Structure 1
């Protein structure tokens, strides 16, 4: 199994509070990896550390066997990492079309995965509902065709049928050879084909394995 990215003995502090306590997380290349856990478990912090949005206080972040621990988030983005946070991921003063960029209207990604956006192209993002803004942020990231796609609770505010369509597309992206890492409170049934599940609890790894090995209590 080829590893796309890893957090090794990773620690993250917010002032006096340590949010990650030396976690080891591996994300296989060309697969979907899911981080699950309750609020405060450290899922978001782990994703932010992977994306370079927060610095490590100890440990390392590896991407394609390269130590990128000191690499700024914008430089990771230029190398092919796309990170979609759970909130505030769009430019509110711009239209949907401007958020997505030139050519988006004709792109198959929009038509097939996010058809709900097509009638909204001329609206400013700040006028959209939370779920619609989430679709814009997800679509913008996926249109970049990133090598590593990192998503924090991407199903927040979305209707179940939209979530199922999104998860199906994420699994297809992995089959195309790209890598997806996402956070969720529990493992969705529609991501049962994910490659790896990591369960975080109070900043530590409580379980790592395949979805079929996940303890029933999770």
Structure 2
């Protein structure tokens, strides 16, 4: 297995509280990985550590074999990383088309993956429902065509059919385009049983790492 990005003995502190307790997590290249855990388990902190949005108090972050522990988030973004947080991921004062960029009206990421956005392109993003805003954030990330895509609970507010379409697209991006995707969720979605690796976090520690089939056997 070729590793795209990993955390080694990573610790993250928020003041006196430690959110990650020396975790070792490796995410395979050109696959979809799922990071599972209840609220407070450390899922979002893990993603933010990979992005560079929170500093490690100990340990390292390596991307493509390079130590990027001290590399700021904006430089990781320039290298091909995109992150969609669970909330506040769009510019509300801009239209949907302005949020998405110049390819909004012609890109297959819109027409094929999120056709629901087509009639909304001229609306200001702040007037959309929570689910529609989530689609804008996800579509904008896909339009960047990042090498490494991190998604924090991307199914919030989305209909099951849209979630299934999103997951199918993510699996296609990994298999056909060699993209690496890390998706955080509270449980393994049934439409992502073809994911490469599942990591389960519990109170800031790794409780399980393996393939989806192994997770079902361990439950």
TM-score band, normalised by the shorter chain?
Answer: over 0.9
- Specify the SS of the correspondent of 2:22: strand
Normalising by the residue count of structure 2, what TM-score does the alignment of the two structures yield?
0.98
Match of 1:203 in 2: 204
Match of 1:35 in 2: 35
Match of 2:160 in 1: 160
CA distance in 1, matches of 2:85, 2:194: 23
Summarize the alignment of residues 170-181 of structure 1 with structure 2, pairs less than 5 Å apart.
Answer: 170-175=170-175, 176-181=177-182
Match of 1:108 in 2: 108
Match of 1:184 in 2: 185
Match of 2:72 in 1: 72
Match of 1:49 in 2: 49
Asked whether 1:169 is paired with 2:169, we answer: yes
Unaligned regions of 5+ residues in structure 2, if any?
Answer: none
CA distance in 2, matches of 1:53, 1:203: 17
- Specify the SS of the correspondent of 1:59: strand
CA deviation vs aligned residue, 1:144-166 (integer Å, no higher than 9, x gap)? 00000000001011000000000
How far does residue 104 in structure 1 lie from its aligned partner after superposition?
A: 1.6
How far does residue 196 in structure 1 lie from its aligned partner after superposition?
A: 0.0
CA distance in 2, matches of 1:61, 1:105: 37
- Specify the SS of the correspondent of 1:214: helix
Match of 1:212 in 2: 213
Summarize the alignment of residues 100-139 of structure 1 with structure 2, pairs less than 5 Å apart.
Answer: 100-139=100-139
Match of 1:5 in 2: 5
Unaligned regions of 5+ residues in structure 1, if any?
Answer: none
Distance 1:133 1:217, change over 3 A: farther
Match of 1:143 in 2: 143
CA distance in 2, matches of 1:160, 1:119: 20
Normalising by the residue count of structure 1, what TM-score does the alignment of the two structures yield?
0.98
How far does residue 23 in structure 1 lie from its aligned partner after superposition?
A: 0.3
Aligned length: 218
Distance 1:217 1:133, change over 3 A: farther
How far does residue 217 in structure 1 lie from its aligned partner after superposition?
A: 6.8
CA deviation vs aligned residue, 1:158-199 (integer Å, no higher than 9, x gap)? 000000000000000101201000100000010000000000
CA distance in 2, matches of 1:36, 1:161: 21
